[in-house]
Amino acid sequence: MIQVKAGTIITHCVGWILFLMLPLLFINGQNENASILNIILSPFYWLFLVCYALLYYSHTYYVFPSWYSKKKYLLYVLYLVVFLALIYFISPFDKLLGFAGRGGPHPEFHPDHFPGFSPGQRPGPSRPRRSHFDIVSIILYFLTLALSITTITLRQLRMSREKTLQAETKKAHAELSFLKAQINPHFLFNTLNNIYALATLSHENTAPAILKLSNILRYVTDEISDDFVPLESEINCIRDYIDLQQLRISTKTTIEFKTKGIFTLFRVPPMVMMTYIENAFKFGISNHESSVITIMITAEGNEINFFCRNTIFDSQYKERTGIGLENTKQRLDYLYKEKYDLHTEEADGMYTVRLRINN
C-alpha cells in the first residue's frame, strides 16, 4: 500500500511539473526583460497552478464521487458551470501572459520612458483596451476536466479488476475446500470399513491397522487444510493406506509400490495421488481372478512423476470414479494451472494414470 501511495505522489508531482512547463514554453521570448525566474516567482504563475490544481483534485476526489456517482446531477452541473465562470473571469493564462509581456511589474512613470514628452508633461489618456477572450484558459479547463475523468475511469477499472480477482480467489479457495471435504470423508469411511472387517474376525493385525489409521488421521487433520504438503508426508500416508489394504486382499492381488528420489525437497497437494490409488484398490481387486496394482512415485530434478495402473473388473469403472477424478483435476487446475500433465487411459483391461507435476 505504501509503495502504491509513493508511486501516486511521484506521478502527480511529475505531472504538475510538466503542466507548469507549458506556460513557460508559450511565453518564452515574449519579452527580453522577463526572465523565467521572474515568471516562476510571480503571483500570476502560482495563480495559474492553483486554479487548475483545485479543479483537478476537487473534481477527482470529491465532486465526481460525491455528486455525479450518487446521481446528484444538478449539483454536479452547477459545479462545472461555476468553475468555468471562475476560470473565465480570472483568466489565469491571460494574466500570466500579460505579466510576461510587460517584463514584470509595471515600472514607475518617468519622462524618459516616453519619447516626445518633456519633463513635467504626462502622456494623455490612452485608448481603452479592447477586451480579450482568454481561450487558452478555457481550453485548459476542459483538458484538466478530461484528465480528471480519465484518472477516475482508470481508478475504477483497477478497483474493478482487483475486486474480480479477489472474488475469483475466494471462489477458488471455497471450491478447493469443498473438493477436499468431498474426498476426505470418502477415504476415511472406506478405511474404517476395512478395520471393522478385521475386528469382527479378531484378526491379529487389528491393532497395527488402528495405528496406521491413526497416522493417516493425524496427517489428514494436521496437514490436509494446507494447499501443499511435503511429498514425504503424502508418501507415508500412501504407504500406510497400502498396508491397510493388504490386510484384507487375497493372494490373487499383486501390489507393486516403488518410490525414488529425495522427497523432502518437494511439496504436493494433499490427497491428490491418493484419489487414484483408492480407486485402484476399490475397482481393481477381485476375489476370484488375479489382478495387479502398480504404483510408482519419483521425484527427480524439478519434476514429480506419479504412475498408477490397475486391472479393471467393474464395467462401470469410469462412471463410478468420474466425480473423484474430476475433483482431483479441478484441484490441479487451481493449484498448478499449466504446470502439470495428467493422462488417463483404459486399454487391454487396465486403467493407467500418469501425472507429471513441475514443482
Residues 124-146: pLDDT tens digits? 444 444 445 678 888 888 988 98
At residue 222 the predicted structure's pLDDT band, cuts being 50, 70 and 90, is confident
pLDDT-derived band at 171, boundaries 50, 70, 90: low
Angle between helices 92-102 and 73-90 (to 10 degrees): 10
CATH number at residue 289: 3.30.565.10
What would you measure as the largest C-alpha separation in the chain, in angstroms?
135
**In the structure, what pLDDT confidence band is assigned to residue 28 with cuts at 50, 70 and 90?**
low
Cell of 339: 504446470
**Domain final residue, candidates 62, 86, 106:** 106
In a shared domain, residues 296 and 177: yes
Predicted local distance difference test score (pLDDT) of residue 232: 92
User: Which of 106, 138, 157 is at the close of a domain?
Assistant: 106
325 lies in the same domain as 218:
yes
Q: What is the overall mean pLDDT for the chain?
A: 77
Sign of the Cα pseudo-torsion (102, 103, 107, 110, in order)? negative
* Segment (H or E) for 353: strand 350-358
Whether residue 178 sits in one domain with residue 71:
no
Quick one: 306 and 233 in the same domain? yes
Strand, coil or helix: what is 297?
A: strand
Residue 223 placed within a domain: yes
Is residue 151 domain-resident?
Answer: no
C-alpha angle 102-108-113 in degrees, rounded to nearest 5? 75
How many domains in the chain?
A: 2
User: Does position 358 have pLDDT exceeding 70, yes or no?
Assistant: yes
Is residue 126, in this structure, part of any structural domain at all?
no
Who has greater pLDDT, 281 or 356? 356
Q: Tell me, yes or no, whether 32 lies in a domain.
A: yes
Q: 105 pLDDT exceeds 60?
A: no
- Give residue 293's domain range: 168-358
Tell me what percent of the residues of the chain surpass a pLDDT of 90: 15
Q: Is residue 214 in a domain? A: yes
User: Is 309:294 a contact under the CB 8 Å cutoff?
Assistant: yes
Query: What does the alpha-carbon distance between residue 251 and residue 246 come to, in Å, rounded to a whole number?
Result: 9
* 51 within 8 A of 87, measured Cβ to Cβ: yes
